[in-house]
Structure 1
């Protein structure tokens, strides 16, 4: 009787094992030696403080003009910046909570149950989940984290033999590829809104283009940006197809000891009104009226936009749209209130850490450190290589500062200043930042946490697959940002 060929004798399996082993070793290293997200911002605070001292920044001091955005000493700059992101902090917390509320609504649950029927094979299920993750994250990254995680669980119930680890990794894929180029991309929405973009950032932007804001038509809706996003999407779906493990090496949820629990829509408790005064929150009447009021306002808001209606899309508008959708999809206000309560813990990291990021931003933007770092970037780059250089830099920094929005505020003053000096299109720098920063999410687990919680997985279960995806997609990003930059003019 002929024995089955060994795994070592099969080159395809050997390659798969080598990539998996390398990714798992990387995961083991990060889990053992790197701190969690709060640790990153604590270390980052004193790293920037030390950098400021090393470059000759003064320890204390405030400018004579209270409205000035430069001339502070490091300690005073930290305090000045600590609450500078308060508006943005609330906006990001709300986008997480509202995105969660939309994803867990009954109509969206029925949609998940329906589309989970599309894939028929394990390999098809993994590639399909990757595609849905990227499409949904393009619409809203917070919604995608919850929506695609629930879809992955439902798919695992319906497709026998599918590898649950790979399915979980692909459910997160949107946050590691295209989210920042989408409609909830933090950097693009910040620079498009005077309320979200700090004055120090607006000042640098104005030096290059005359206006302190960059509309979405000059960032995520540039044809070059949309083309780059589409190419990354195709490459990532193809990679997901080939990353799917063989049936012999696949591990189902059951084999991992994970109970998938009730299906979508099951286990929803019935509503019981205990007293007449509760009819307002139990009745859909006010949900319908408030939804109509919000839609009426949004129609007028977009109609008043100068030039292109898309220029009216900022973080406040995105959040309002999400809240209105959650309200009408849950139908009864009491259901929405419960969904918001359930989703609030997911925003706790933002509420605690963003003020600390604001302090880092202050030490960079309100001192001379911003100009110093900009000078370094100019000295080691040129107009041709600057986009790829910034993509790499943003990706590396993103491993240590796992928040696209707050990290952009930290980077923006000197990254845009250097772009002005090298005559690189400012809107393209935002696109480059988006693509590079998103890639970092494939290497660190901070934003994986909501997805992992729903799936019952641990970071080490999926980071082998996300690391392999990074090895394929990031070189593609570097090529695209370099080539497309040649088609744009300054500013």
Structure 2
């Protein structure tokens, strides 16, 4: 991140007003941070492992976690592939046209609610959808003579990051829902322990109460923090255009080759029939699985996203090209995970997780400590699923209940992702003119409020 955030256009701008580039220059690439964590794991395990065993775990530790790595990569890529489509863009346009944009508070609140509700379903639906819808609402307000402070609207769109990890497609919960051990790296397939019931996870009181409370109050908090004086507001037209025309047009990037130039392979690649048949067969398979009592797991989610993506994009080649484009969303996990796995392997082999678990248990406030550790560690590990891979074994070693522990870690990961919002915004569009100091003020207020609520609920429940 530090090496690719400056352009010629930004050299003349004040550092205070370069949100993505300024914060990015202090945050190394995820691969660099992963390497530092791996080296640290090597150092702390020196007293417990021989040099040869250390190097063996460092180099081969990822072997047992390859299915986890691929699942998490596809989770990011396929989610974005489905959402970044013409049909989902049309849905976003309809939502944006239906929401009120009469004043600043309404725009900020509406964007925040959309971010939280859509984010609970899926990270891409919440993040991409809220950023685009918030931009359109701000543009509508400006067209009607209402000046809206766009930085607050953009931050409202990032609220999706907080709840997406405790929602329907929580990466941690879906990994742990697998009783076969394919993606659940902690399960004993013969015993079946350490398996998360996704329904129990979603309906856990901490999740239910916090989601309802945050939907009602978090957007309102941002609306209160935004400047009330119109002369202090920065309207959307002062920023990089996120949407060109409609959201649907912006997301519809596929360009089909002229039909007169098609060869046999093109006819297959552009066949709507193949896309529809694939979707129908996949939908029947999914339906049969769930009708027979199957639980939603990471692998079944990925299969569903594949067939849905093929159907939404309409043509096999359109889907394939969008998958290629969506790989940009996995840059923070694809290679770094190999080193995360090395950390996991080193600490596991050295028996470190049991020791850490005992220390956490000795505090008497296991879930609170889990949340705080995840909040800090998540700044170094942007992928919530990867964070669970590294932190989860220690929580299990503490003897704490699995579902509340997972909730605490996933919430901590979500709040830390908010602080790394410049990474995600930068993937959509490089935003200039947004003061990094202002973003830090928003993030600090949200972090304090969310932390108080989550810690209180973890203690109560």
Q: TM-score, normalised by structure 1?
A: 0.80
* Matches for 1:128-143 after TM superposition, within 5 Å: 128-143=110-125
Sort the Cα spacing of 1:37 and 1:125 in 2 relative to 1 into closer, same or farther, 3 A.
same
Give how far 1:46 is off. 1.6
Q: Does 1:38 align with 2:31?
A: yes
Is 1:471 aligned to 2:448, yes or no? yes
How far apart are 1:99 and its partner, in Å? 1.6
Per-residue CA deviations over 1:115-151 (Å, capped at 9, x if unaligned) read 1121312221111111111111211113333222222
Q: Whole-Å Cα distance in 1 between the matches of residues 242 and 393 of structure 2?
A: 48
Given the alignment, which residue of 157, 177, 187 partners 2:139? 157
From 55, 59, 67, the counterpart of 2:50: 59
Residue 196 of structure 1 deviates from its aligned partner by: 0.6
Partner residue of 1:283? 271
For residues 94 and 424 of structure 2, what CA distance do their matches in structure 1 show?
23
Larger gyration radius, structure 1 or structure 2:
1
Flag the 1:386–1:24 CA change in 2: closer, same or farther, 3 A.
farther
2:226 is aligned to 244
Instruction: Tell me by how many angstroms 1:329 deviates.
Output: 1.6
Name the counterpart of 2:6: none
Structure 2 contact 115–126 (Cα < 8 Å) conserved? yes
Match of 2:423 among 431, 434, 449: 449
1:49 counterpart = 2:42: yes
Mapped partners of 2:336, 2:452: distance in 1: 31
Is residue 113–residue 264 contact of structure 1 (8 Å, CA) maintained in 2? Answer: yes
What CA deviation, in whole Å up to 9, does each residue of 1:376-398 have, x standing for no partner?
2223x11xx22112111111111
1:318 maps to what in 2? 301
Q: Distance in 2 between matches of 1:270 and 1:414?
A: 49
Kindly state the Cα deviation for residue 32 of structure 1 after the two structures are TM-superposed: 5.5
- Determine if contact 2:34/2:336 at 8 Å carries over to the other structure: yes
Partner of 1:70: none
Uncovered stretches (5+) of structure 2, i.e. residues with no partner = 1-15
SS in 2 for 1:35: coil
Q: 1:295 to 1:259 in 2, by over 3 A?
A: closer
User: Matched residues in 2 for 1:400 and 1:238: separation?
Assistant: 29
Query: Structure 1 residues 465 and 34, CA, compared in 2 at 3 Å: closer, same or farther?
Result: same
Aligned pairs, how many? 429
Shift of 1:203: 5.1
Given the alignment of the two structures, is residue 294 of structure 1 paired with residue 282 of structure 2, yes or no? yes
Aligned residue runs from structure 1 range 248-287, under 5 A: 248-256=231-239, 258=241, 260-266=243-249, 271=256, 272-273=258-259, 274-277=261-264, 278-287=266-275
Q: Contact 1:133/1:174 (CA < 8 Å) preserved in 2?
A: yes
> What is aligned with 2:193?
211
Name which of 107, 119, 125 aligns with 2:100.
Answer: 119
Secondary structure of 1:75's counterpart equals: helix
Pairing 1:425–2:407 present: no
> How has the CA–CA distance of structure 1 residues 31 and 340 changed in structure 2, closer, same or farther, with 3 Å as cutoff?
closer
Cα shift at 1:355:
0.8
> Are 2:431 and 1:438 aligned?
no
Q: Aligned partners of 2:356 and 2:255: how far apart in 1?
A: 58
Q: Does 1:79 align with 2:59?
A: yes
Distance 1:218 1:24, change over 3 A: farther
The answer on whether the counterparts of 2:374 and 2:413 sit within 8 Å (CA) in structure 1 is yes
Q: Is the 8 A contact 2:176 2:196 kept in 1?
A: yes
Name the counterpart of 1:363. Answer: 346
Q: Deviations over 1:369-427 (max 9, x none)?
A: 11221222223x11xx2211211111111112222111111111121110x2xxx3222
Q: Which moved further from structure 2: 91-100 or 216-225? A: 216-225
Give, in whole Å, the separation in 2 of the partners of 1:45 and 1:155: 44
Equivalent-residue separation in structure 2 for 1:395 and 1:24 (angstroms): 26
Would the aligned equivalents of 1:103 and 1:109 in 2 still touch at CA under 8 Å?
yes
What is the Cα deviation at residue 338 of structure 1? Answer: 2.4
Change (3 A) 1:259 1:434: closer
User: Which residue number corresponds to residue 11 of structure 2?
Assistant: none
Aligned partner (choices 165, 175, 187) of residue 202 of structure 1: 187
1:187 aligns with 2:178: no
Report deviation, 1:187: 1.3
CA separation of 1:428 and 1:265: change in aligned 2, threshold 3 A: closer
Whole-angstrom CA distance in 1 between matches of 2:165 and 2:396: 18
Kindly indicate whether the alpha-carbon contact (under 8 Å) linking 2:120 and 2:165 is maintained by their aligned counterparts in 1: yes
Q: Look up the SS of the partner of 2:331 in the other structure.
A: helix
Contact 2:89 2:249 in 1 (8 A): no
Contact 1:57 1:74 in 2 (8 A): no
Cα contact 1:79–1:362 (8 A) shared by 2:
no
Q: Distance in 2 between the 1:57 and 1:168 partners? A: 48
Q: Are the structure 2 counterparts of residues 34 and 329 from structure 1 closer, same or farther at C-alpha, using a change threshold of 3 Å? A: closer
Equivalents in 2 of 1:432, 1:149: separation in Å? 26
The 1:179/1:270 distance shift into structure 2, 3 A limit, reads closer
User: SS of 2:88's equivalent?
Assistant: helix
Q: Matched residues in 2 for 1:303 and 1:104: separation? A: 30
Structure 1 residue aligned with 2:366, among 378, 386, 399? Answer: 386
